[in-house]
Amino acid sequence: MCDQTFLVNVFGSCDKCFKQRALRPVFKKSQQLNYCSTCAEIMATDGLHENETLASLKSEAESLKGKLEEERAKLHDVELHQVAERVEALGQFVMKTRRTLKGHGNKVLCMDWCKDKRRIVSSSQDGKVIVWDSFTTNKEHAVTMPCTWVMACAYAPSGCAIACGGLDNKCSVYPLTFDKNENMAAKKKSVAMHTNYLSACSFTNSDMQILTASGDGTCALWDVESGQLLQSFHGHAADVLCLDLAPSETGNTFVSGGCDKKAMVWDMRSGQCVQAFETHESDVNSVRYYPSGDAFASGSDDATCRLYDLRADREVAIYSKESIIFGASSVDFSLSGRLLFAGYNDYTINVWDVLKGSRVSILFGHENRVSTLRVSPDGTAFCSGSWDHTLRVWA
Amino acid sequence: MERVVVSMQDPDQGVKMRSQRLLITVIPHAVAGRDVAEWLVRKFCVSEEGEGQRGVAGETPYFWTSTLWPAAELDYAIYLAKKNIQKQGALADYEKVQYDQLHKKLNHTWDLVLMQAREQLRAAKRRRKGDRLVIACQEQTYWLVNRPPPGARHVLEQGPERGARPASHLQTSSDFYKREIDYTRKALGRTRVKSSICLEAYLKFSSQRSSHDPIMAGCLPSNPWITDSVDYWTLNAPTVATPTKLRVERWGFSFWELLGDPVGRAHFMDFLQKEFSAENLSFWEACEELRFGGQAQVPGLVDSVYQQFLAPGAARWVNIDSRTMEQTLEGLSQPHRYVLDDAQLHIYMLMKKDSYPRFLKSDMYKSLLVDAVTPPETRRRVFPFMRKPRHSSPSPALLPGSGESAAASGGDEA
């Protein structure tokens, strides 16, 4: 049997010149249009022109990036570990698990501290979000989300609400209530709407604004009360996995890290990317500002953590070891910025000396990969959440 | 899970069952994976991602991934042994590795393993070819899910797929490159600071703060997490009458640090009132409220700030330079949350460069330092079984007004 395709001739008005001609289907940006043969030929030559422009744009971008690297290198006169030779080495570090929070039925994906320094909110794969008083290990509230894989959760600065989201592509805010007659889920507010999973969320300085990062490659700033989008941030070429707000006095920037191996610093007011750093070799899982706000650290699947300085506009330190081959899932600084705690997928937590670049200590305890790690607001302890269904507070 | 499978087999509401032709043998009741997923979506309104088991098998729940029947090592060894016996050298690389490992581990029962394998093969030969194929398929899928080859995504475990999915077409569009070029051009023009200066700043910051870092230097009287005593938190509560010495010292590190502490800010406000410039701090606070407040409150807040601080002849008029004032007043015709940013920055810098240094040199600050407490250290209890009861604290979610509910929700002791 022979396979014949017959070209069907359709007559009609061309989508470009509107003349009545025999039409051919033409695909432009995955949309089908019907052009007459003359317009189709013009488009073919146009396309060629477009391709040429695309290639020249790409080479222009590459050459500019090269120039930028040269400029950055010019002012790099000394390495961090050289400067840090004058600093005393840190002594032995003994940190133990002081509390173990058991209660999640599945992997813990995210956690956040309350400003009261003892309460935390944590979310897990089975859709449960729990608020604990981690000092007494009591559970105070529990919400079941309608979706699984709740990858982001945050505590409001006032301590009166929590936000969470994940595979439902939304960020929902739940006011915390102790009223036994009220179901927490009843007062839920759906704030953010993305077109892909929510990977991170954080309140700004008040309960009324929330910043989200999503697998659709964008970050967005929302007004909690109305759910209105205040600003959106486009620029990542792949999923955005993490974000952190700057502690600086001008308080208008935040940093985000994504699967495109980039960490980008954004101006919240204009929505523009202010700085970008692309030195990681794999997904950037976590970003956290240095306490002074002049730098930030990032943890990545390439098993390294790196420190980027914002004023020097470059990477200034790499925290890695040959023996560490699993990715770092989350990082945080101690209060003085001297220590960097990083949780890895090989179930351990490594403590790095930020200035000297060496590992100070390695903490064992979790029985599965560490997915989230945050230092408490007053720096007395840090909490790590893991796929082994538990959270541990270390001090 | 079993209930799901049974309901799937329900002739009316279950998944579409078909007889699939595999070469010559007919596999009865084969169910395409996609049908299962669709049915699950319909039945449970489950979102697309998640636990759909791919593959052809899935009729009789013999090998279903139930938690009631964990994938035991022995079973896996028998499966691999069968595979090895049937066709020599058919094991994949990762399977060979597993096989060797299991051989070492189960060396004592290896005879049992081989015997079971041979018996199972013999029993299988006695079945009809159709059934044999079905069970073989099931078995294979079961082990693919529970012992995935390295690098394969463990279907039930990994979670949402990451990657450059949506952006692959973004990469090649001209808009993307134009944006990159734009950004890089701007970045080339920015001023950078020498590395040596930036890095020195870290040293200074860390050394200044190390005694204030509880993890590095400990905290007095003791770290609550270690000794179970909340004294440290009580002494450092947000609004406490006598702040600790370390806390008062921190106010001297930076203006931002002073403003960030409620007690510090209150004292600074007192100081400003003595200097008749308290409206500066009030104006700054009002601007912060505007920037981080709800969208609906923006017009009202802008108006009230204007009336109180910026209007000519206002009760608490702030002293801003004329250019900034002009720009701000212009912007007020279209109020948005950032309209007062320039004015706020101007006032902030004024306080930082002028009032703040005077505050640090003032008698008020000096006496605060003198009055500040340094709590004595509480040693760690020697006998851990005489543990202090861990007291719960009222949740910040309880409003100050609802005092009666605070008692009711006191919380259990650990």
Of A68, A135, A209, the CB nearest to B184: A68
**pLDDT at B69 > cutoff 50:** no
User: Is B341 within 8 Å of A117 when comparing Cβ atoms?
Assistant: no
Label residue A234 left, alpha or beta by phi (over 0 means left) and psi (-120 to 50 means alpha): beta
| Over residues A86-106, mean pLDDT | 92
Is residue B55 over pLDDT 80?
A: no
Which position has the higher pLDDT, A46 or B318? B318
In a domain, A77, yes or no: no
**H or E stretch at A288:** strand A284-289
**Higher-scoring residue by pLDDT: A115, B137:** A115
A177 and A249 both lie in a single domain: yes
What the block records as the tokens of A268 is 């919240």
pLDDT greater than 80 at residue B119? yes
What sign results for the dihedral spanned by CA atoms A328, A331, A334, A336?
A: positive
- Same domain for A133 and A236, yes or no, is yes
Assess whether pLDDT exceeds 90 at residue A118: yes
Look at strands A209-214 and A198-203 and give their pairing.
Answer: antiparallel
Q: What is the pLDDT confidence band of residue B6, given thresholds at 50, 70 and 90?
A: low
H/E stretch holding A332 reads strand A328-333
pLDDT at position A25 is: 74
pTM of the model: 0.74
- Give the angle subtended at the CA of A214 by the CAs of A210 and A216, to the nearest 5°: 140
Residue of B45, B161, B192, B347 to mutate, interface with A, max A Cβ within 10 Å: B192
**Of B266, B250, B177, B145, whose CA–CA distance to B208 is shortest?**
B250
Q: B residues 56-115 near A, CB within 8 Å?
A: none
Euclidean distance between CA atoms A339 and A352, whole angstroms:
6
For residues A27 and A104, membership in a common domain is answered with: no
| CA A17 to each of CA A43, B277, B396: distance values in angstroms, whole numbers, following the listed order | 12, 70, 67
Query: pLDDT-based confidence at A33, cuts 50/70/90?
Result: confident
Whether the predicted pLDDT of B384 surpasses 60: no
Could you tell me which CATH number the domain at B218-371 has? Answer: 1.10.167.10
Point out the residue among B177, B179, B411 whose CB comes nearest to the CB of A235.
B179
Euclidean distance between CA atoms A363 and A349, whole angstroms:
5
Q: Does residue A111 sit in the same domain as residue A179?
A: yes
Crossing angle (nearest 10°) for helices B278-292 and B262-274? 140
CB contact residues (below 8 A), chain A span 277-316, against chain B:
283, 290-292, 294-295, 309, 311-314, 316
Mean pLDDT of the region B220-226: 92
| Same structural domain, A29 and A142 | no
The pLDDT mean for chain A works out to 90
Strands of A198-203's sheet in order across: A198-203, A209-214, A218-223, A229-234
In a domain, A2, yes or no: no
Q: Considering only the beta carbons, identify the residue of B160, B196, B236 that sits closest to A77.
A: B196
- Please give the pLDDT value at position B100: 86
Write b or e for each residue in B217-246: b if 16 or more Cβ atoms lie within 10 A of its Cβ, otherwise e. eebbbbbbbbbbbbebbebbeeeeeebbbb
- Out of A292, A378, A395, the one facing B226 most closely (by C-beta) is A395
- CATH 1.10.10.10 is right for the domain spanning B1-58: yes
Instruction: Provide the CA A230 distance to its chain's centre, in angstroms.
Output: 19
pLDDT above 50 for A46? yes
What's the pLDDT at A185?
Answer: 83
Query: Among B128, B2, B144, B8, which residue's Cα sits nearest to residue B62?
Result: B2
pLDDT of residue B398: 80
Alpha-carbon distance of B337 to B299, in angstroms, equals: 8
Are B397 and A71 inside 8 Å of each other by CB?
no
Q: And the tokens for B92?
A: 């994949």
* Residue A309 to residue B223, Cβ atoms within 8 A: no
Is the Cβ pair A269, B338 closer than 8 Å? yes
User: Span A201-229, mean pLDDT?
Assistant: 95
Q: CA A109, CA A131: separation in Å to the nearest integer?
A: 14
Mutate to test the interface with A, among B206, B208, B230 (most CBs of A within 10 A): B206
Of the candidates A76, A223, A238, the beta carbon closest to that of B167 is on A238
- Which residue has better confidence, A377 or B63? A377
Q: Answer yes or no: is the ipTM higher than 0.85.
A: no
In this structure, is residue A65 part of a structural domain? no
**B356 in contact with A at a CB cutoff of 8 Å?**
no
What is the pLDDT, as a whole number, of residue A38? 80
Is the same domain home to A95 and A39? Answer: no
C-alpha A331/C-alpha A343 separation (Å) is 6
Instruction: Write down the pLDDT at residue B121.
Output: 86
pLDDT band at B385; cut points 50, 70, 90: low
What percent of chain B is modeled with pLDDT above 90?
37
Taking Cα atoms as reference points, which of A374, A390, A335 lies closest to residue A101?
A: A390
| Average pLDDT of the residues in A14-37 | 76
Task: Please report, for residues A337, A342, A375, B232, the alpha-carbon distance to residue B215 in angstroms, rounded to integers and kept in the order given.
Answer: 11, 15, 10, 14
| Residues ≥6 apart with Cβ < 8 Å to B148 | B154, B155
Residue A6 has pLDDT above 60, yes or no: no
In this predicted structure, which of A280-289, B5-14, B358-367, B385-394 has the lowest mean pLDDT? B5-14
Structure tokens at B274: 């003595």
Residues in a beta bridge with A113: A120
φ/ψ of A6, rounded to 5, equals -100, 130
Q: Do B209 and A205 touch (CB under 8 A)?
A: no
Span B209-237, average pLDDT? 92
Identify the residue with better confidence: B30 or B409. B30
Quick check: B40 pLDDT over 60?
no
My answer on whether A229 and A342 are in the same domain is yes
A51 touches B at CB < 8 Å: no
Asked whether this chain's domains B1-58 and B218-371 adopt the same fold, the reply is no
Q: What is the CATH number of the domain that holds A180?
A: 2.130.10.10
A residues 95-154 lying closer than 8 A (beta carbon) to B = 95, 98-99, 114-119, 125, 133, 135-138, 140, 147-149, 151
Q: Which of A71-80, A365-374, B137-146, B358-367 has the lowest mean pLDDT?
A: B137-146
Say what angle helices B93-105 and B73-86 make with each other, to 10 degrees. Answer: 120
The Cα of A3 is separated from the nearest Cα of chain B by a number of Å equal to 25
End-to-end CA distance of chain B: 36
- Number of domains present in the structure of chain A: 2
Query: Amino acid identity of B351?
Result: M
Q: Is residue A217 part of a domain?
A: yes
| Mean pLDDT (whole number) for B235-239 | 92
Q: Which of B166, B178, B202 lies at the smallest CB-CB distance from A217? A: B166
CB-based contacts of B19: which residues, under 8 Å, 6+ apart? B26, B27, B28, B29, B30
3-class SS of residue B50: coil
B234: which chain A residues are within 8 Å (Cβ-Cβ)? none
Asked if A105 and A252 sit in the same domain, the reply is: yes
Which residue on chain B is closest to A114 by alpha carbon?
A: B396
List the helix and strand counts (H, then E) for chain A: 2, 31
What is the maximum span of chain A, computed from C-alpha positions, in angstroms?
A: 85
- CB-based contact (8 Å) between B237 and chain A? no
Q: Domains of chain B: which residue ranges?
A: 1-58, 73-146, 218-371
CATH class of B73-146: mainly alpha
Rounded to whole angstroms, the Cα distance separating A57 from A276 reads: 19
Residue B129 to residues B25, B135, B138: CA-CA distances in angstroms? Answer: 7, 10, 14
Residue A186's domain comprises 91-394
